[in-house]
Amino acid sequence: MIKKISALLISFLISIGAAHAETWNMALAYGAGNFHSQNATAFAEAVTKKSGGKLTIKTHPGGSLFKGGAILRAVQTGQTQIGERFMSAHGKFDPLLEVDSIPFVAQTYSDAQKLYKASKPELVKGLDEKGLVFLYAVPWPAQGLYSKKAINSVGDLKGLKFRAYNSATIRIAELTGMKPTKLEAVAISQAFSTGMVESMITSPTTGKNSKIWENGVKYFYDIAAWFPKNMVVVNKKAWNKLDSKTQKMVMQQAAVAERKGWALSKKGNVADKKALAAAGMEVGKVNKALQSHFEKVGATMSKEWAGRAGSRGQAVLSAYK
Cα–Cα distances in angstroms (integers) from residue 305 to residues 102, 113, 139, 310, 312, in the given order: 8, 20, 20, 8, 11
CA dist 309 and 117 (Å) reads 17
295, amino acid identity: E
CA dist 169 and 210 (Å) reads 19
Q: What pLDDT was estimated at residue 15?
A: 44
Q: Tell me whether residue 291 is exposed, middle or buried, using C-beta atoms within 10 angstroms of its C-beta: 0 to 12, 13 to 18, 19 or more.
A: middle
Beta partners for residue 282, in sequence order: 219
| pLDDT one-digit tens code per residue, 200-230 | 999 999 999 999 999 999 999 999 999 999 9
CA dist 156 and 153 (Å) reads 5
Quote the distance between the C-alpha of residue 24 and its chain's center: 20
Q: What pLDDT was estimated at residue 90?
A: 94
221 near 102, Cβ under 8 Å?
A: no
**Once rounded to an integer, what is the mean pLDDT over residues 115-131?**
97
CA dist 59 and 23 (Å) reads 11
182: alpha, beta or left? (left if phi > 0; alpha if psi -120 to 50) = beta
Q: Is the pLDDT of residue 16 over 50?
A: no
- Residues whose CB is less than 8 angstroms from the CB of residue 218 and which lie 6 or more positions away in sequence, other chains included: 147, 148, 149, 150, 280, 281, 282
Q: Is the pLDDT of residue 124 over 90?
A: yes
Q: Report residue 166's pLDDT band, with 50, 70 and 90 as the boundaries.
A: confident
Q: What pLDDT was estimated at residue 184?
A: 85
CA dist 143 and 129 (Å) reads 30
Q: What pLDDT was estimated at residue 185?
A: 83
Average pLDDT of the residues of the chain: 93
Q: Calculate the CA dihedral of residues 83, 89, 93, 94 and round it to 10 degrees.
A: 100
124: alpha, beta or left? (left if phi > 0; alpha if psi -120 to 50) = alpha
pTM: 0.87
What's the CA angle centered on 178, arms 176 and 179, to 5 degrees?
145
Q: Is the pLDDT of residue 9 over 60?
A: no
Cα–Cα distances in angstroms (integers) from residue 34 to residues 208, 241, 264, in the given order: 10, 31, 11
Q: Report residue 120's pLDDT band, with 50, 70 and 90 as the boundaries.
A: very high
| pLDDT one-digit tens code per residue, 51-100 | 999 999 999 999 999 999 999 999 999 999 999 999 999 999 999 999 99
| pLDDT one-digit tens code per residue, 38-50 | 999 999 999 999 9
Q: Is the pLDDT of residue 7 over 60?
A: no
307, amino acid identity: G
Structural domains present in the chain = 2-140+228-272 (3.40.190.170), 144-226+279-320 (3.40.190.170)
**Once rounded to an integer, what is the mean pLDDT over residues 291-308?**
92
**DSSP code string of 162-226:** EEE-SHHHHHHHHHHT-EEEE--GGGHHHHHHHTS-SEEEE-HHHHHHTTGGGGT--EEE-----
Q: Report residue 6's pLDDT band, with 50, 70 and 90 as the boundaries.
A: low
> What 8-state DSSP symbol labels residue 51?
T
Q: Are strands 199-202 and 55-60 parallel, antiparallel or unpaired?
A: unpaired
Q: What pLDDT was estimated at residue 97?
A: 96
